[in-house]
Structure 1
Amino acid sequence: MIRLLHSGEALPMNLLLLADPSERLIRDYTTRGACYVLEKEEKVVGVYVLLPTRPDTAELVNVAVEEACHGQGLGKKLVLHAIQTAKQQRYRTIEIGTGNSGVAQLALYQKCGFRMVSIDRNFFLRHYEEPIFENGIQVIDMVRLEMDLEQ
């Protein structure tokens, strides 16, 4: 079951930190967006944040699934839920960004219907104090994807 995190309920910081190593940035965007959690057997095992950015546009940020639950299709379930939620909230566009080395994430987002639109060069160098590595590659650039929800 995927649900909106209740007001006053603690953020699942352990999960959020899997997708974003900056607690400072996480606290910033979770105050501006809506945090949704995926529960399995009454335990929170997945999370995403839907963040209004511009008129008619939302960004899907910080999609994360507990490592023990990888390979069960839960990430896809979260992404599809976010798309449906954005449609229900009458957004026209949903965006998502991921690091240049996030091969699995890029594949997942495209399978869910997102299309690459741009690269934010040096994003991770500008916004993170410590270098981030994924798949043995330094994460430097943000690959931006989006989906038109009015199709």
Structure 2
Amino acid sequence: MSGFILNTMKAGSEIPYALLLLADETIEAIEKYIFKSDVYILNNGIQDIAVMALYKNSLTELEIKNMAVMENFRSQGIGSILIDKAKEIAAQHQFSSLLVGTSDTGLQQIRFYEKNGFVKKEIRKDFFTENYPFPIFENGMQMRDMIVLEFLIHHLSE
């Protein structure tokens, strides 16, 4: 991770909505999880270029609620750096699984997560039509269902 600095957002800091909105459609949606999430911001020494919000669903399950990389920094391995950090955090805190949800239309995102060891776990039917006040389109298709992917954490003691 040379040249990059990953910092945890401190309580009371300004929320990086511009970055978060790259992965979520509305501030209202972000505010449903952001205040109860641990937020990590990746800086390249000049500017903040990526963000990741981790939310504890339970004592055993950690979820990536938001992960975004500025467009001009994509396809450079930064997303995989963030995923590796999330796996490391999950293992350190004894979570048994790391989850992430993405739209059924997000074919590139699904491939990315699968490439990083995630497997499809469940489908949350009509998630995007029920949780957003307007239709959202991606890749020319309306987002409807959320695909939940899971990475199982293997601890050294196992």
Tell me the TM-score range normalised by the shorter chain.
over 0.9
Write the mapping of 1:76-87 to structure 2, written as runs, cut at 5 A: 76-87=80-91
Distance in 1 separating the partners of 2:48 and 2:10: 13
Structure 2 residue runs of 5 or longer lacking an equivalent are: none
Match of 1:108 in 2: 112
State the structure with more CA Rg: 2
Structure 1 residue runs of 5 or longer lacking an equivalent are: none
State which drifts further: 72-81 or 121-130. 72-81
Distance in 1 separating the partners of 2:101 and 2:26: 16
SS at match of 1:54: coil
Structure 1, residues 74-116: CA drift from partner, whole Å, max 9, x if none? 1111111111111111111111110011111111111111110
Which amino acid in the other structure matches residue 77 of structure 2?
G
Match of 1:21 in 2: 25
Distance in 1 separating the partners of 2:14 and 2:32: 15
Distance in 2 separating the partners of 1:3 and 1:112: 22
Distance in 1 separating the partners of 2:67 and 2:92: 19
SS at match of 1:50: strand
Distance in 1 separating the partners of 2:154 and 2:69: 28
Q: CA deviation at 1:69?
A: 1.1
Alignment of 1:38 onto 2:42 = yes
Alignment of 1:124 onto 2:128 = yes
Report sequence identity in percent. 32
> Quick check: which one's helix share is greater?
1
Runs of 4+ in structure 1 off by over 4 angstroms are none
RMSD: 1.2
